[in-house]
Structures are given as structure tokens and as C-alpha cells.
Amino acid sequence: MPTAELRLGGFVSLSSCDWPGDLAATVFCQGCPWRCRYCHNPHLLGTHPSGSVQWPDVVELMRRRVGLLDGMVFSGGEPTLQSGLVAAIREIRALGFRVGLHTAGPYPDRLNAVLPSLDWIAFDVKAPFGDYAKVTAVSGSGEHAKESLRAVIASGVQYEVRTTVHPQLLGSRDLFVLADSLDGMGVTHYTLQGCRVDGCLDRTLAPAPPEQVTVLAEGLRGHFPHIKIAIRNVDQED
Ligand code: SF4
């Protein structure tokens, strides 16, 4: 059977944290159009595969994991950058697995194409939508992210919206502006993530005080009573 074309930078055969509550394998898709200074996977940003793992080998391994795993997470990089994502997700679903997606939403059209095949989405929101370039270094990126997030909310697919906080990139005032905006869009599942700077794209970023995320999360409980806190960066490869 022909397999999809998907460029990969890594594969983790068992993860209990990439999809909370599910035992999943995770593929790290190659390439991202944005350049977030805190990105923990700089080797995944270019379009050429940075790892030796091949998609057909991943499918074969998953075939042998039927009954042992709940699903597969497509992470990155930015999985929706690749046109092969749609077919790759279909292949995994055909084996009977649930499918999760980590995305920041730069490609609303491709996200819309895969939404009906997803069981869960971790959606990374960077900043107030008008200020995205401060984090992503790409002008107009916030408009694409907003369109994608709207589609996720309207789809009814389970999701979690996540924001990584670093004082040099997202001030507390910006975070409250963002929270107002997300609340207005109907976001209910929200996680704040502390930022670890070791190994990130911009080595000049200062270490962020770990207690900051807890203080900020408490301040947002009026918007999100069930807000969660994470110390692990969403884009960190295991
Ligand atoms: S953090 Fe995510 S969206 Fe930002 S550059 Fe890295 S992979 Fe791309």
C-alpha cells in the first residue's frame, strides 16, 4: 500500500505527556514558517529532514502497536506545513488509532482539511493576535493563527489552548489582553506554560523566573477557572 509523503525530524514510540490521558507515539514533522525565539526545536524549523526516520517505517511500527497504544500525535515543527499530513493522518486512523495534533495554526486551510480526522488538538497561542510578530518574527502571523483557532473551536474537536510565557516576549499586560480575546472567542481549556530557555532558538533569552507562570495563572482564573500550568514547553522533543 502506498504511504504518504511526510518529512520527519524525529519519532518517539511511547509518550505519556504529549497527549495528556492517552498513551501515544509522537512524530515530529519537519519545517515551520515561524521563528519563535523560545522555540525548543530549532533543528525542526528548516524544510529538509533533520532525522533519519522515514514515514513508511513509522507506519509499519504503528501497525505492530495496534492494541498497545491509544493513538499518535503529530507534532513539530509545524505539522500543517506539509501537504502530506492529510494522507498521513488517514493512514494512522485506518489502523484504528486516535489522532492528536500540535499546531500553532499558520495554515488555516490545511488545518480545516484535517480537522474532521482529529480527536484532540493542542493549539499554541503566542501573543495578542495583533502582536504575533514580536514572538514569531513573521508579520501577519496572528491573523492566520486567529482564523485557525476559530476553526478549532467551531469544529467541536477536543482541544487545549496553550501559551508559553517569557517576560521578554509577553508582558503581563499583553497576557491579559490575550486572555480577554480568547475568552471572547469561547476558549474554555487553557494552559500557561513556563519557558525554559536551555536549547532554545535564541540563546540570548534570559532565564525566566519559574514562579512567574503560577502568579500569572492565578491572575487569569477569572477568565479561565480551570486554567492549567505546565513547565514543559509544548514544542520540546522528548
Ligand atoms: S515554537 Fe512552534 S511555531 Fe514557534 S518556531 Fe518553534 S515550531 Fe514554529
Q: Please state the atom number of ligand 1 nearest to the C-alpha of residue 233.
A: 1
For residue 35 and ligand 1, the question of a CB distance below 6 A is answered with yes
Best residue among 35, 36, 38, 196 to mutate for probing ligand 1, ranked by most atoms within 8 Å of CB: 36
For residue 105 and ligand 1, the question of a CB distance below 6 A is answered with no
Best residue among 34, 40, 164, 195 to mutate for probing ligand 1, ranked by most atoms within 8 Å of CB: 34
pLDDT at 2: 61
Q: What is the mean pLDDT of residues 159-180?
A: 95
For residue 123 and ligand 1, the question of a CB distance below 6 A is answered with no
C-alpha separations of 130 from 136, 189, 217 in Å:
12, 22, 22
Rounded distance between C-alpha atoms, residue 202 and residue 40, angstroms: 9
Residue position matching grid coordinates 519557558: 195
User: Would you say the pTM of this structure is higher than 0.85?
Assistant: yes
For residue 235 and ligand 1, the question of a CB distance below 6 A is answered with yes
Q: Which of 78, 88, 7 is nearest to 45 (CA)?
A: 78
Rounded distance between C-alpha atoms, residue 64 and residue 206, angstroms: 44
Number of H helices, E strands in the chain: 7, 8
Interval 34-92: pLDDT, tens: 999 999 999 999 999 877 899 999 999 999 999 999 999 999 999 999 999 999 999 99
Q: Which of 135, 140, 194 is nearest to 168 (CA)?
A: 135
pLDDT at 210: 81
The CATH code of domain 8-230 reads 3.20.20.70
For residue 114 and ligand 1, the question of a CB distance below 6 A is answered with no
Rounded distance between C-alpha atoms, residue 224 and residue 232, angstroms: 20
Q: Which of 238, 217, 146 is nearest to 186 (CA)?
A: 146
Name the grid cell of 3: 504511504
Rounded distance between C-alpha atoms, residue 235 and residue 37, angstroms: 12
Q: What is the mean pLDDT of residues 150-167?
A: 97
Q: 233 pLDDT exceeds 70?
A: no
Mean of pLDDT over the chain: 93
pLDDT at 236: 39
Q: What is the mean pLDDT of residues 141-150?
A: 98
| Residue boundaries of the structural domains of the chain | 8-230
Phi and psi at residue 31, to the nearest 5°: 100, 140
